[in-house]
Structures are given as C-alpha cells and as structure tokens.
Amino acid sequence: MPFISNIQRQTDFNLFDSNTPIVIDNGASYFRIGWAGEAEPRVIFRNIVQRPRHKVTGETVTIVGDHDPALLKYFDCTRSGPRSAFDSNVVYQFETMEYILDFGFDRMGATTEIDHPVLITECVCNPVQSRSKMAELLFETYGVPSIAFGVDVAFSYKYNQQQGVCAKDGLALCPGFNTTHVIPFVNGEPVYEGCCRTNIGGFHVTNHLKQLLSLKYPYHLTRFTWEKVEDLKMEHCYIAPDYASEARLFQKEPEQAEGKTRCWELPWVPPPTDEPPSEEEIARKAAIKEKQGQRLREMAEAKRSSKINELENELHGLEFLLHQLEQVEESEVLPFLSETGYVNRQEIESARNKVMQSLRKAKGEPKNEQAETEKEDLGTSEKYSLINIPDDMLTEEQLNEKKKQLSLKSMADGRQRLKQKRYEEELERERKQQLEEEKRLENPDLYLEQLHARYKDLSERVDQQKRLKTNGGHSNGNSLSGGIGRGERLNAAQRERMRLLTTAAFDRGKGEDTFGARDEDWQLYKLMSKDYGNDDDEEPDEDETELTRISSRLQDLDPTFIPKLDASTSQPAEVPRVRPLTKEDFKIVIGVERFRCPEILFNPNWIGVDQVGLDEMAGVSIRRLPYKDETLEQRLTSSILVTGGSSLFPGIVERLEAGIRMIRPCGSPIKIVRALDPVMDAWRGAATFASDSQFHMQTFSRLDYYEKGEDWLRSYQLRYTL
C-alpha cells in the first residue's frame, strides 16, 4: 500500500557497512530510527497508523506517523482512526507494528532485506510473548541477521552516567507516554527485582487537559485536537510545589493568579451589524416588490380567464345537451343518455347548476340567496321524492329507497340544525365581544379590574372542581398525604354507577331474574354502562372555557399578567436561549488547568487509577531490592535521574525532592537531576552502546533463534556495561 508522509527518504543506506547496527527506539509515543555511532536519529515520527479510503478511487492508503492535515480532506477517516501497536507499554498489535517498521526502514532507504544488526528498545520486564513476536517479525519478514533488546530507561541512564550527570548507583524515574517506571541501578546495571511501574503517563495528562477544556468551552470542541492540546500541555503546564497552596492562590488571590494564567486567543470575526437601510434601498426593494406583485396579479388574472373560458364552454355544452334532450322522443332517451355518460335529466341539470355556481364564483358575482334557497328546496324535493308518498302506493324497491331517503334527510336536517346553532352561537359571541369592547372603552381601568376579579373567581372554582374529581371532597381519615383510596378517587357519576351495579346485583339474587322486561330497565342499563357519562372523555366545561378566554384577554390587555399554571398538566421545559458568541468567548483561558492536569502523575486516583504516585514509587522500588543495605539506599537516593517526555514539566524535580524526603529517614541525602535530553537520551544511549566493538557479543543471531527457539528469549539479558 502507498504511504503518505512528509519525511524525506534517506539515500545513503547502501553506503554503510553491513556490520553497522541500526538503532530503533520503539517508544509508545514516537518511533526513532538511525545508525549506531551517530548523534541524532535519521527518522522520527509518531508511532501510530491510520488506514483511510480515498473518497474518489476507494483505494485504501496507509498513513504512518505525522501527516499533513490538508491531505485528509481527500480521504474518508470516519471508519479508520489512528491505531497504536501498544497496549499500555507492551507491543501487542504486530500487524500495526509491521506497518511502522515498513515505513521506518523505507525512510531509511532500504529496498531489500535488512542485512544490518538491529538494536531495539523495549519496556522493563517485557513479556516473553511480545519479545518473541518481535524477534519473529524482524527475522522472518526483514531477514535481520542479529537482534539485541534493551530497556530505553537503562540506555538513558547509562548515557547520562557517561556524561557525568549521575553515578553508577542510583534510581531512574521515567514518566513516559503510557506508563511510569522506576528502576534502581547498582554498579551501572539495572536491578529488575526492584523496578516499579504505574499505568499513568503523558497520554493521561493530555487526555485530562482535553476533557477539562472541552467541558469549559463546549462550543470550541473541534479546536481541541489531540495535537493542539499536546502543544498546550508542553508549553503551559507545570508541577505545583504544593497543590493545595497553589489552588488556594487561584481561589483567594486573583491578582497573583492572573499572572499565572495563560490565554489562547482563537480567530474571531465580529458578526455583521444590522444597519437601517437607506431610502434608496427601501425604494428599490419596494419597486421590486411591486413588480413581483404585478407579475403575480397578471398570472392570477390569466389563470382566472382560462378557468372562466373552460367553465363557459362546459356550461354551453350542458345547455346544448339539455336542448337536444328535449327534442328526443321518450323511447330514445335512454340510448341517448348512455352515449353522453349521464343517467337521467336531473343529473345533467345538477351538473349545470354546479358549473353555473363555479362560474359566478370565478367571475366574482354575488350569490343570489333567494334563488339558491329555491333551487336547494327544489333539489331537496327532487332528491327525497318518495318521502311524502304513502307506503301502500310504493313497490318493495321503492320502500327500501324511501327508507334510505328518510335516513339521509334526517342526517341532512341534523347537519343543518347544527350549522344554524353554530351560526347563532357565533352571532352571540360577537355580540358579547362588542359589548365588552364598549365597556372597556368607557372605563379601561374598571374593566381590567373586573376581568382580574372574574379570573380569580373562575380559577378558584375550577380548582375546587378538580379537587372534587380527584378525592370526592372527603377526607379518608388518614393524616398522611397520599393515602387516598379507590372510592375517594371516583367522581359523583362513577360512584352512582357503582351504586346501581350493586343494587342490581342484590335484587337479582332475590328471585327470578326479570331485568330487561320493562322499558325502565334499559334506562338503568344506560346509566350503568361503562362508556355512558364518562367524565374523563368529556369536553372542558363552561368554567374552564371562560377561564381560558379571560386569561387570553388579560394577556392581551395587561403585560404584567402571568397566567396560573395548571399543576395537573406537565408544562414543557423552556428551551434555553442560545447566547451569541462574543470576542471573550474566543479566548481560551488556562488557569488551574496548568497544574491540575500534571498533578495526576502524583495522584493517579484523581482519574480512577488506584496506584501510587511518582514520589511514592521511589520508596516502593527501594523496598523491593533483594538486599537491605542502608549505605546502598543512601547512594541510590543521592543519584536520582528523571528522564522521559513527562519529566519536562517545570517544577517536577523540586516536587519529587519534597515528596521523597517525606518518605525517607530524616537526614538522608537526596539529589534529583533531570536528564540532559529526557526525550532523545534513550536513543543516544542505545546508539553509543551499539557502536561499541563488543556489541556483537550481546546479540543473538537468526541461527540461534531457529536453533534454540523462542523459549531461549526468556533467559536473554542485555549487559549495559561493556
């Protein structure tokens, strides 16, 4: 698969002798590879792999390490995020590791098999399964002739020892990317029985800072990328000498805290101000609006003219059809109507009346109510022609048709009565509104006072009715709230229904069951019916309707009026108004986060890791030593080296010294120094070690691997003093 990277490929790979080792610092954060004896590695990149698909071609590409963010717009990265070969500090994804090694050797300039010895770093007490898989990958995939495994912390300690920074006996504290290690050194060699590890490192510090900033500024989540937060951590974070005192300073002394606060300003563009339009702009918009309105009116007029022409043609056709029907003889009417698609003359006349009505509506002519009423009465008499004819004069089919006409007429009359009732109610409502408006105009203050009094009276009455429906207005004899029984929750109609059911059941047991023999029994049956008189499905009564009307009226007239909320109905939560972002919202202020995030190195339980802190690890490591010697312990605490990427935080040396002094006996010598280059010293120490002439004595060859197997790797131990 093709690689995407900005790292230049080396061109001098074939110029090096085959005995020159290749040195690899395989860290969980960065991968460094170069030649033994050189001062700097040739290739450095992040130890991650991403395999997205191209949006156009669909080809899967491999992105190893750092990449140009501008290139990602051509790839679909939603299903393939960055992957690491590490679980904590142990390599376990060797498929991902193969991509990383491919890329590293490719950038070094290798084209065929790797015919150079390889020195690769690993974690302290690396499991033999991980070591054997790495050996298998290097031997069988790349053809490496020999391999040596070493601990990165040990190489960093030995390199600083050679530079005179630390002594042969001492402690190496390495807060790394995923884990933190403490290794004791005696006579220049690590004592693995006394090493200590916690699962906390720079990754957790960056992640904690990212979470805090995301919670503090939720509208800038896309700005807090991993790379940017990592830069903010390395640039601004520090270790507080005393966390409680530092936090108290930010809480109670804002002037001093302001000097320790950092601000990251994001680009901000002020929103456009809404200036009032000029007179020319108003006139231009009015002209455009008038032009659009004129165009719409012309379109509506053209559509209206077209519809009138269609209706007139249809009306002429129906009148011509009626004129022809008058000239047709009685015996030829049915064949003539079958050709036209109509059943009888009445259907044609009804269609003509509808067309005439639509035509008058299209022309905007007023309705002739008297003529309409006469035609409606005439249509009704024709539609229900069998109602007034006696039954003895009708055939069986006509009797069935008469029943249908009676049913249809009764429903039509009911609809007409309902329509008339609604019309009268509307007239009455308009009359009342007119009277109220006259009262308001005569004395607005008195009218408003009467409205408030009426609203209060109706509100109390409605609340009392609801309480009666809830518990019947009785007390259950229990002083505790919430002790309402089933009978007290029934309303009056429901209690009456239960009484009737009980009475009917009692009477039924006295003798012969004669219920239903009389007409009065059916009225009782209606009262006992479950669906009859069900108050739960009834419409709101007059008081509730009047209360709603008065509340709406008061809201229109009195801006200070607040309607009373109904406790029985759940009110929807008010949607919070979104405040427009200002320039201050684009200033990312980093205050307590500067020392709060690195503090988890000393208090891992803050993020749920139940392990000791960095200062306590030194005491744990000394106690684990297989031999107890007070003089040796003093020599160890007199030469404590701090290395690793997370040791770059300012103040970590002073904090470690104060913490270790608290767990050591009074008067114990304590000296803590930082490595010359905590990030690169591991690779430089490995490169110096591999350039020694005795290095080949510390490796094992491919023949040894095939001959002795991976179990031989259990006893493999690198000696750092040559």
Condensed to tens digits (0 to 9), the pLDDT of residues 339-373 reads: 777 777 778 888 888 888 888 888 877 655 445 55
Measured CA distances, 395 to 343, 383, 390 (Å)? 21, 18, 11
- Kindly indicate the confidence band of residue 57, based on its pLDDT and cuts at 50, 70 and 90: confident
- 602 SS3 class: coil
Give the pLDDT score at 502: 66
Chain mean pLDDT for the chain: 84
- 515 SS3 class: coil
Give the pLDDT score at 266: 92
Amino acid at 53: R
Tokens describing residue 566 = 């109904």
Q: How far is CA 301 from the centre of its chain?
A: 52
Give the pLDDT score at 716: 87
Query: Phi first, then psi: what are they for 263, rounded to 5°?
Result: -130, 130
Cβ contacts of 246-250, under 8 Å, gap ≥ 24: 246/595, 247/592, 247/596, 250/591, 250/592
pLDDT higher than threshold 70 for residue 596: yes
Give the pLDDT score at 642: 97
- Mean pLDDT check: name the lowest of 63-72, 485-494, 611-620: 485-494
Q: Which helix (H) or strand (E) holds 613?
A: none
Beta bridge partners of 576: none
Kindly give, in sequence order, each residue whose CB lies less than 8 Å from that of residue 14, ignoring residues fewer than 6 positions away.
109
Mean pLDDT for the stretch of residues 371-384 = 56
d(C-alpha 124, C-alpha 190), whole Å: 10
- Kindly indicate the confidence band of residue 1, based on its pLDDT and cuts at 50, 70 and 90: very low
Condensed to tens digits (0 to 9), the pLDDT of residues 246-264 reads: 999 999 998 899 999 999 9
CA-nearest of 52, 53, 42, 55 to 7 is 42
Tokens describing residue 81 = 């995020």
Give the pLDDT score at 217: 93
**Strand duo 170-175 + 180-186: pairing:** antiparallel
DSSP 369-437: HHHHHHHHHHHHHHHTTTTTS-GGGS-HHHHHHHHHHHHHHHHHHHHHHHHHHHHHHHHHHHHHHHHHH
Please, are residues 154 and 115 in contact by the beta-carbon 8 Å criterion? no
- Kindly indicate the confidence band of residue 576, based on its pLDDT and cuts at 50, 70 and 90: low
- Kindly indicate the confidence band of residue 659, based on its pLDDT and cuts at 50, 70 and 90: very high
pTM score of the predicted model: 0.62
Please, are residues 259 and 620 in contact by the beta-carbon 8 Å criterion? no
d(C-alpha 134, C-alpha 147), whole Å: 10
- Kindly indicate the confidence band of residue 501, based on its pLDDT and cuts at 50, 70 and 90: low
Give the pLDDT score at 496: 72
Tokens describing residue 333 = 């009417």
144-148, 338-342, 513-517, 714-718, range with greatest mean pLDDT: 144-148
pLDDT higher than threshold 80 for residue 661: yes
Three-point CA angle 299, 302, 303, nearest 5°: 85
Radius of gyration of the chain (CA): 47
Q: Which helix (H) or strand (E) holds 21?
A: none
Beta bridge partners of 64: 49
d(C-alpha 666, C-alpha 637), whole Å: 13
4-13, 180-189, 294-303, 370-379, range with greatest mean pLDDT: 180-189
Give the pLDDT score at 22: 97
**Strand duo 587-590 + 189-190: pairing:** unpaired
Measured CA distances, 350 to 277, 356, 359 (Å)? 58, 10, 14
- Mean pLDDT check: name the lowest of 115-129, 166-180, 470-484, 556-570: 470-484
Q: Which helix (H) or strand (E) holds 614?
A: helix 614-623
Condensed to tens digits (0 to 9), the pLDDT of residues 136-184 reads: 999 999 999 999 999 999 999 999 999 999 999 999 999 999 999 999 9
Tokens describing residue 60 = 């899967």
Q: How far is CA 312 from the centre of its chain?
A: 62
Please, are residues 169 and 82 in contact by the beta-carbon 8 Å criterion? no
d(C-alpha 50, C-alpha 387), whole Å: 87
Strand order in the sheet with 22-26: 43-46, 30-35, 22-26, 118-122, 146-151, 700-701
HSE of 126, CA atoms in CB hemisphere, 13 A: 29
d(C-alpha 210, C-alpha 221), whole Å: 9
Helices (H), 217-327: 226-236, 243-252, 254-259, 279-327
Secondary structure string (H, E, C) spanning 75-115: EECCCCCCECCEECCEECCHHHHHHHHHHHHHHHCCCCCCC
Mean pLDDT for the stretch of residues 644-661 = 95
Measured CA distances, 274 to 255, 271, 277, 578, 671 (Å)? 39, 9, 9, 19, 66
HSE of 30, CA atoms in CB hemisphere, 13 A: 16
d(C-alpha 486, C-alpha 496), whole Å: 14
Count of other CB atoms within 10 angstroms of residue 385: 14
pLDDT higher than threshold 60 for residue 541: yes
DSSP 218-246: GGGGGG--HHHHHHHHHHH----SSHHHH
Q: What percent of the chain has pLDDT over 70?
A: 85
Give the pLDDT score at 336: 80
pLDDT higher than threshold 60 for residue 481: no
Mean pLDDT for the stretch of residues 204-212 = 96
d(C-alpha 475, C-alpha 485), whole Å: 10
Mean pLDDT for the stretch of residues 555-582 = 65
DSSP 633-647: HHHHHTSEEE-SGGG
Give the pLDDT score at 483: 42
Beta bridge partners of 34: 23
d(C-alpha 458, C-alpha 450), whole Å: 12
